[in-house]
Structure 1
Amino acid sequence: MDDGRLNSLTGEFVEPIREQVFRSQRFGELVRHARVLFLLAGLLNALFLFSDWRFEGQMHFFEAIYARGAVIAVSLACAAVVARAMSFRAVQRIIIVWQWITAVGVAVLVQSRSDIALFVVLLLPAIYYLVVPVSFRWSVASGVLCSLLMLVGYLGVPPQSDTALGLALAVLMLNAALILVLVRNNRQSRLEWVATQDQKAAREVLSQSERLLERTFMAVPIPLLITELESGRILRYNAAGVSYFGGEPHEFGIQSVWQIYADLGARRVFLERLIRDGSVTNFETKIRLGNGELRSVLVAATFIEIDSEACLVSGVIDITDRLAAEQKIRYAASHDALTGLTNRAAFQAQLDATIREARTRPGAIFLLLVDLDGLKDVNDTLGHAAGDALLVETARRLERLAGERAVVARLGGDEFVILLRGAISLEEAQALSQAIIADFRHPLVYQDRSLSTKASIGLAACPNADYAPGELMKDADLALYAAKQEGRNRAVLYAPAMRRAMNERISLNRSLANAVAGNEITPYYQPKVSLITGQLMGFEALMRWKRSTTQVLQPQSFLTAFEDPELALLMGDTMLRQVARDVRKWLDQGYPVGRVAVNLSPAQFTHRDLANQILELLAAERVTPSHFDVEITETVFLGRNSDFVAPILGQLHSAGMNLALDDFGTGYAALTHLKQLPIDTIKIDRSFVQDTESDSFDAAIVCTVIELGKNLGMCVVAEGVETVGQARFLRERGCEVAQGFLYARPMPAAATAEFLARETRDTAAARVCDLWGR
C-alpha cells in the first residue's frame, strides 16, 4: 500500500482534505470515545475522592479535595457538552480544556507524594498521548504540558528529592517514546482506514458490476441462457429467453438445454467444437420452442465458472425469418416475378451447367426458343392485365407440355425457352414443338373474352459437348428469326445456312454503313407522267447503292438491311437529304419538278420522332414539304411499332406532303388503311399492269382499283408502264398518271436535270399524240 500520502513526522495525511475526510468519517466514534473518557475520568476521580478522606487532618488535604472535585466536575461537564458537538474541532477544543484542567488538578494532587503519586506522574502523560483522541500537535502539546505540570507538582514541594534529575530525564524519555508511539498509532490507524476504504470501494465496484451485469443480462434483447456444462441443466434465463421460449423451461418439462436441440447430430457437433475451441460463434442449428415450434437459430457460447462448476453462457439469435427472406430473395433472383418460371440469368447458368455436364454424361441437348405472337395486340386492346394473364397461361401451358424432363424459363417480354436434356431424340423435340404450336391455337378466356394468340418456335440441337452455350442460344434465335420470316405460327429447326445468312446480313449492314459514310447511297429518279395532258407530274426517288463506278445495286439486293432500324433511318436520312438538295438545285434552275416521291421503310417508323426529323431536314435544305410525296407500303402497318405510323403520317400530311399507298392490292388490309389515313394517291403495282392487255383477271383488278380511287377522290398512279398499249388501256379506264420504262428508266440526278431541260409543251403533246395513235 502506498504510504507516501502520510506525513512521516506526525503519521497524519499530508493532504488536509484527506485528513479532514478521515476525521469526519470517524467523528461518531470520536464523540463516543471522548464521552467514555470523560465519564471514566469522573468515575475514577470520584473513587479516589473517597480514598483521599483517609488523609484528613494532614497537610494538603483540602487542596487535594478541591482539586479532585474540580477534575470530577470538569469531566462530567465535558461529557455532557461533547454530546452536542458538531465537528472534530469542537470536540477537540472540549478535550483540550479537559486535559489542561485535569493536568492542573492532578499536579496539585501529586504534591502529596503519596504511594501512587509517582505512578500518576508517569501515567497521565501516557494517557494524554495514547488515549485522548486529538490531533498530533495537540496531543504533543497537551502531553508535554501535562509532563511539566506533573514534575512541578511532584518536585516543587520541599523536601527536594535526590532523584529529581533522574525523574525529569525519565519523563523526557517517556515523552519521546510516547511521541514515537503516537506517530506509529496515527500511521497505523490511517493505513487501516485507507485499506478499509479501498475494500469498500472494491466491494462497491463489485456490487455495481454485479448489478450492471444482472441488468444487462436481463435487458439484452436476445435470449441468453446459463447452463451447466455436463448435465446441460438450465440455471438462468433472461427475460428475452423466457419470452422467446414461451415461458420457464420447467413449464414444458425441459430440464436440460440439450433437450431443445431438434437435431442430435448438430448437438454433438456443437459440443465437439466447444470443447476444441473453448467457445462457439454463429453455430447454425434448429431448436424446438416450448410450444413445439421448430426455429432456425445461430448459437454462440463460451465457458464460465460458477462455484467451481464449469458452465456455459449461450446466446441465441433467431434467423428463421431471415432465412425465409433470403430464400425469397434467391427465388426472386432466379425466377420471373410474373410467371414463376426460371428467369434469364438463372436459365443461362443452368444451360452452362448442362453443357458442362454433357462432357462427362453424354446426352442430347435441345433448345426451343418460343416467341408469343400477338401479345402486343392484347396489351393494346384489353390492357396489360390481360397481357399478364396471357403470359401466365403461356407459362402454365409450356410447363404442362414440356413435363418434368425439361427446364422452362421466361427470357423476358414474350420470349420463353425450353431446355431438353437426356435421352431424347430430335423427333421428340420436334414433336414437342408441334404440340406447342397446336396447343396455342386454343384461345385463352379472360374476363369472358377470348384471347387468341400464336407461337413461333426456333429449335436448335447442341452438336457437341464443347459447344458454347451462347452459340446454342444464337442458333435457336436464328431458327426463331426464320420462323417469323416464314410467316410465324410455326417451328423451324436450325440449319448452318441460317448462320451463314446472318453473317452475310451483318457483313451487308457493315458495308452499307460504310456506304452511307462514303456517299455511295444515291437517289435515281423515274418520272411520273399525266395520261391526260402528257405533262411531267413529278418523280419517284429510288434508292441505289453505287458500289463502284460500274456496279449500281437496286434495293432488292440489300432489302434485309432495312430491318435494322438504325441503319434504315441512316440510309433514309442520307437519301432524303440528297433528294432535297437535288430538288432545291432544280428549282433554282427553274425546272418544273412537280412532286418528288420518297419511300419510307417500316423500320424507320420505330422512331417516334421521324416526322420532326424529316421536316427539320427539309427546312435545313430550304425546300418546302409541298414538293414531296411520301410513299409507304402496307407492311408498315404490320410491325411492332404500327401504332406510330398514323401519327407520323398525319403530321407529315399536315405539313403539306401527299401520302401515297404503294403496291396497292398486294398487301393485307389496304381498304382499312384507305379509310383511316389521309391517303392522296393509290399506286397500282406493276405486277397487275404488265398483263392488262392479255390477262383479263389482271385487267379486272386494275379497273377495280382505278374505279375505287376515283370514287374516293384519290389520284391513281400505275407503275411499270412499258408499252403504249398499256398506257392507252389505263387512260381509257380513267387512270390519271403513269410511271414506267415507257417514259424513262430510273436515272441519276445529272441525267434527271437533262430530262427536265428537255421537258417542253411539245414533249407533252407528243406523249398525248402517241396515246391517240397520231
Structure 2
Amino acid sequence: MDATRRMRDGGNEPAMTNGRLNPWTGELASPEEEASYRAYSTPEVLRRARVLCILSAFVNTGLTLSEFRIADPAIFRFAISARGLAILAALACFLILRRVTTFAQAERVLVTGLMATAVSAAALITVGNEVGLVAMLLIPTVYYLVVPISFRWVVTCGIVCTLLTVGSYLLFPPKPQLAFSIIFAAATLNVFLVTVLSQHNRHGRQEWAAMQSEREARKIQLQSQHLLERTFAAVPIPLVISEIESGRLVRYNEAGIRYFGGEPATFGVTRAQQAYERAEDRAEFMRLLRRDGRVTNFEARLRIGSGEVRTVLLAGAISELDGNPTVVSAIVDITERREAEEKIRHAATHDALTGLMNRGAFQGLLDKVQHQTSTSSGTVVLLMVDLDSLKEVNDTFGHDAGDALLVETARRLRHLAGDLGPVARLGGDEFVILLSGQKSSAAALDLAETILRDFRQPFMLGERTFASRASIGIAACPRPDYGPGELLKDADLALYAAKNQGRNRAVLYAPSMRDAVMQRVLLRRELSAAVQADAIFPYYQPKFSLVTGQIVGLEALMRWRQGDGVIVPPAKFMSAFDDTELAILMGDSMLRQIARDMQGWLAEGLAFGRVAFNVAPAQFTHPRLAKHLLGIMWDAEVEPRHFEVEITETVFLGRDSEHVAPILDALYAAGVRMALDDFGTGYAALTHLKQLPIDGVKIDRSFVSDLESDPYDSAIVCAVIELGRNLGLSVVAEGVETLTQARFLRERGCEFAQGFFYAHPMPAEAVRALLLEETGETAARRLAALQH
C-alpha cells in the first residue's frame, strides 16, 4: 500500500519499470501478466462499462428532447432515429454486460456499443446538428479516458470515432482555414489522448503490480510465519523464547515442555535466569548475545522441573515477537556426553581395578604439586609401597584373590593416608602416596610404620584369611628444581633397598643408593664388554656318585676374567642377571663355550656324564628360549642328551609356571634333563615337582654345611632325600666339604654329591686331565673312604 501511495503522490516508482511494460501502450509486456491484470480488473471494468452505458442512454435521451426544436420534419425524423439508435445500443450493451463475466466479452460488447454511438454521432453531425463540433471533440475524449478496454481497441475506437465525426462535419466544408484547424485539432487531440492513455495504463498497472507484490509478500510472510510456527512447534530440540531485558519466558515448544518436565511456570520458573544454576552463566550468555547478535555452543547448567541440574549447550539469536525484542534459545542436552567423557577421562587417568590414579595421572599431579611447593614452604615426600605377598596369593588362591588383595590394599592405603595426600597405583603390586607441604620426612616415616602395622592385620578374602606384607621406600624432594621423575627414581631405589634388607620394612632414600645404582650400571657395561671379549667362561665342578664313587656329571659355573687377569665368581656380579638382555648374552656365551668343551671331550672318548648349566630367570623372557638353546647345542654338534638344565626356584617368581613349563617341556622332549637347584629355600611350591618335567633336585649348601650340628638342617636334608626317593627323583647334595657330611648323606640314601671335599671348580683343561686319570681304582678309593 505504501508503494501504491507513493505512486499516486508522484513519488518514486516501484521496482517494476519499463522493463516489464510496453513503452508505447503502457500495458504489461508479458501476455500472461497482462491477462492476470485484466482478470483482476474485470469486475471494475464491468462496473464502469455498465455505468457508461446508462450514462450514454441517459445523455442521449436528454438530447432527444432538444431535437424537437428541429423544424424540418425529415431532419427531425433522421435525428430522432439516430438518437434512438444510440439509446438502444447503450441499453442493449447494459443488458448484455449484466451477463458478461470476462474482460474479453466485455471488450467486445463495448467496442460494438462504441461503434454504434460513433455512427449515431456522425449521422447527427451530417444533418447540421449544432452540437456536432462538440461531439467531434468530446466523444473521442470519452473513448480514450473513460472506456475501460485494451489499448488497441480504445485507440481504434477513438480514431474511428474521430474519422467519422470529422468526416461528417466536413461534408459541408467551412472555410479552408477552419477545416485545416479542425483536422489539426482532431489529430493533436488523438495524439495527446493516446499519450494520456498510455500513461494511464502505465500507472494503473504499476499500481496493480505494487499491490500484487505487496500481496505476494504478505502471502509469503504469512506462509513463512506459518512454517516457522509449525517448525517451532515440531522441532525435536527444546526451544525457548524470552524477552531480552526482563528474561520473561514468552514461548516454548513441545520439546521444551517435555524437557523441563512441564511448562516452566508450573514449577515457578517464569524468567530465563531462574533456570540457570549459576547467574554468571546467564550474564555471560547475554553479554555475548548483545555483542555478536548470536551465540553458539555456550555450555551452561540448567535446572529442570524435577530439580535435577543438566549440562546443556545453548544457541541463541536476537529476534522480535509482537514488536518486542526477544531471544530465541535452542537447548541441546549434553549431560550424558559429559558423563561419558568424564568416564573416559577417569579410565585414562585411573586404575580400572582399584579406582586409584594411574601412573600417568600421578606423574602429572606430582609435577604440578612440585611446582606449587617450590613457591611455598615445605617439601614433597613420596612413599612407594610394594606388596611382598601378591605372588604367593596368585599362586595359591588364583588371580581373582590377587585382584581382591589389590583392591583391599588400595582401600586401606586410602584410609590410612586420609587427608595427608593422594594414593596412586603405579602398576602391578606397586602403590605410591604423595605427601606435600612437609617440613621433614617424619610424617612419612610415621605413616609408613602405620601402614606396616596395619598390613600385619589379616586380610579377609571370602572365607579365607591371610596376612600380607609390604616393603616401603621413602624419598623427599631435596630441592625445588628436582624433577618428578628423579623423585620417583629415588623412592624406587629406597624400595629396592627395603627389599634387599629383608622386606616388610620402610627405608628412607639416601644418596648412597644412587651410587650403588651407578655401580650396577658400570658393572653391566663391563660385563657386556666381557661377553664380547669371551671373558665370560665356564669352570666345572664334578658330581660324584655316593654309591659307586664314580664321576657322574659336571656342573658348569660362570666365571669372569677381568682385565688384570683376576677371575671373579658370579656371586660378585649377581645383580647383572636382573638385566634381561645381559643375562641372555652371558647365558648364550656360556653355553657356546660349554658345548665347545664338550665337543672336545667327546672327540677324545672321555666319559663325563651330563654337563649341567644354569638358566637365569631373566632368560625365560626369550620368546623362543628352548629352540634357541637347542640351536646352540646342535651348532656345536653335541646332542642334547649330554646336557642338563638347572633352574632355581626363583624362576617361578614374577611369572606363572604355565609360562615356564612349555620351555622346559620342549627341552625335555629333545633329551635335556632338568634339575631344581637350591631346593628347599622356600620360593617354590611342591606342585612344581608334579607339574614340570623335573628329573632331580639339588639340596642347597646352606642345609648341608650344618647338618652335623643342626638337627633342623639334618631333618630337612633327610626329608628332601626321602621326598626324592618317593617321587623317583635323583638327589644331589651341594657344598659337601667333609668326609662326615659325605658319610651322613650316603647313609641316608643320597645318591650324588658335589663340593670341595671331592673337587673344587676347575677350568676345562683340568677337567680333561681329571677325566683322563679317572679309573676304576680311583672310584674304588673314594668309595672305600666312605666305608671306613
TM-score (norm. length: structure 2): 0.83
Distance 1:337 1:685 in 2: 42
Q: Identify the range of structure 1 (269-278 vs 329-338) with the bigger mean alpha-carbon deviation.
A: 269-278
Look up the match of 1:652: 667
2:577–2:616 contact (8 Å) kept in structure 1: yes
Instruction: Mark the CA change 1:709 to 1:162 in structure 2 (over 3 Å): closer, same or farther.
Output: closer
Look up the match of 1:225: 241
Compute the displacement of 1:126 (Å).
Answer: 1.7
2:121 paired with 1:109: no
2:616–2:647 contact (8 Å) kept in structure 1: yes
Look up the match of 1:630: 645
Look up the match of 1:601: 616
Instruction: Mark the CA change 1:578 to 1:92 in structure 2 (over 3 Å): closer, same or farther.
Output: farther
Structure 2 counterpart SS, 1:406: coil
Look up the match of 1:568: 583
Deviation digits for residues 265-296 of structure 1 (CA, Å, limit 9, x no counterpart): 77777777877888777777666656666666
Compute the displacement of 1:629 (Å).
Answer: 0.9
TM-score (norm. length: structure 1): 0.85
Deviation digits for residues 660-713 of structure 1 (CA, Å, limit 9, x no counterpart): 233445556686654554432343455666788999997887677656545554
1:364–1:422 contact (8 Å) kept in structure 2: yes
Distance 1:313 1:395 in 2: 51
Distance 2:716 2:395 in 1: 35
Compute the displacement of 1:28 (Å).
Answer: 4.0
Deviation digits for residues 33-59 of structure 1 (CA, Å, limit 9, x no counterpart): 444434543454455556656658612
2:363 paired with 1:348: yes
Q: Within 5 Å, which residues of 2 pair with 1:108-187?
A: 108-156=123-171, 163-187=178-202
Instruction: Mark the CA change 1:256 to 1:535 in structure 2 (over 3 Å): closer, same or farther.
Output: closer
Structure 1 counterpart SS, 2:73: coil
Q: Identify the range of structure 1 (241-250 vs 180-189) with the bigger mean alpha-carbon deviation.
A: 241-250
Instruction: Mark the CA change 1:682 to 1:177 in structure 2 (over 3 Å): closer, same or farther.
Output: closer
Compute the displacement of 1:576 (Å).
Answer: 2.3
Letter in 1 for 2:611: V
Deviation digits for residues 146-178 of structure 1 (CA, Å, limit 9, x no counterpart): 111112333336999994444333322322222
1:225–1:237 contact (8 Å) kept in structure 2: yes
Q: Identify the range of structure 1 (494-503 vs 143-152) with the bigger mean alpha-carbon deviation.
A: 494-503
Deviation digits for residues 555-598 of structure 1 (CA, Å, limit 9, x no counterpart): 11211112233332332233223333443454455544532211
Instruction: Mark the CA change 1:772 to 1:545 in structure 2 (over 3 Å): closer, same or farther.
Output: same
Distance 2:331 2:720 in 1: 86
Letter in 2 for 1:153: S
Mark the runs of 5 or more structure 1 residues left unpaired by the alignment. Answer: none
Counterpart pick for 2:777 among 737, 751, 765:
765
Compute the displacement of 1:725 (Å).
Answer: 8.1
Instruction: Mark the CA change 1:453 to 1:707 in structure 2 (over 3 Å): closer, same or farther.
Output: closer
Distance 2:351 2:626 in 1: 38
Q: Within 5 Å, which residues of 2 pair with 1:730-745?
A: 736-740=751-755, 745=760
Q: Within 5 Å, which residues of 2 pair with 1:411-430?
A: 411-422=426-437, 426-430=441-445
Q: Identify the range of structure 1 (453-462 vs 728-737) with the bigger mean alpha-carbon deviation.
A: 728-737
Letter in 2 for 1:547: Q
Compute the displacement of 1:143 (Å).
Answer: 1.6
Instruction: Mark the CA change 1:738 to 1:380 in structure 2 (over 3 Å): closer, same or farther.
Output: closer
Compute the displacement of 1:529 (Å).
Answer: 4.5
Q: Identify the range of structure 1 (170-179 vs 195-204) with the bigger mean alpha-carbon deviation.
A: 195-204
Compute the displacement of 1:740 (Å).
Answer: 4.7
Distance 2:373 2:667 in 1: 58
2:540–2:764 contact (8 Å) kept in structure 1: yes
Q: Give the count of matched residue pairs.
A: 770
Distance 2:757 2:487 in 1: 53
Instruction: Mark the CA change 1:588 to 1:125 in structure 2 (over 3 Å): closer, same or farther.
Output: farther
Q: Identify the range of structure 1 (268-277 vs 576-585) with the bigger mean alpha-carbon deviation.
A: 268-277
1:305–1:311 contact (8 Å) kept in structure 2: yes
Distance 1:260 1:670 in 2: 67
Distance 2:768 2:602 in 1: 11
Instruction: Mark the CA change 1:594 to 1:76 in structure 2 (over 3 Å): closer, same or farther.
Output: farther
Letter in 1 for 2:193: L
Mark the runs of 5 or more structure 2 residues left unpaired by the alignment. Answer: 1-12
Q: Identify the range of structure 1 (78-87 vs 338-347) with the bigger mean alpha-carbon deviation.
A: 78-87
Deviation digits for residues 602-652 of structure 1 (CA, Å, limit 9, x no counterpart): 333345643343334434544432121111233334444444334433343
2:450 paired with 1:435: yes
Distance 1:321 1:691 in 2: 71
Instruction: Mark the CA change 1:698 to 1:418 in structure 2 (over 3 Å): closer, same or farther.
Output: closer
1:586–1:753 contact (8 Å) kept in structure 2: yes
Look up the match of 1:577: 592
Look up the match of 1:501: 516
1:533–1:765 contact (8 Å) kept in structure 2: no
1:661–1:681 contact (8 Å) kept in structure 2: yes
Q: Within 5 Å, which residues of 2 pair with 1:319-718?
A: 334-363=349-378, 365-379=380-394, 381-422=396-437, 426-530=441-545, 536-548=551-563, 550-584=565-599, 586-588=601-603, 590-607=605-622, 609-667=624-682, 673-686=688-701, 709-710=724-725, 712-718=727-733
Compute the displacement of 1:500 (Å).
Answer: 2.0
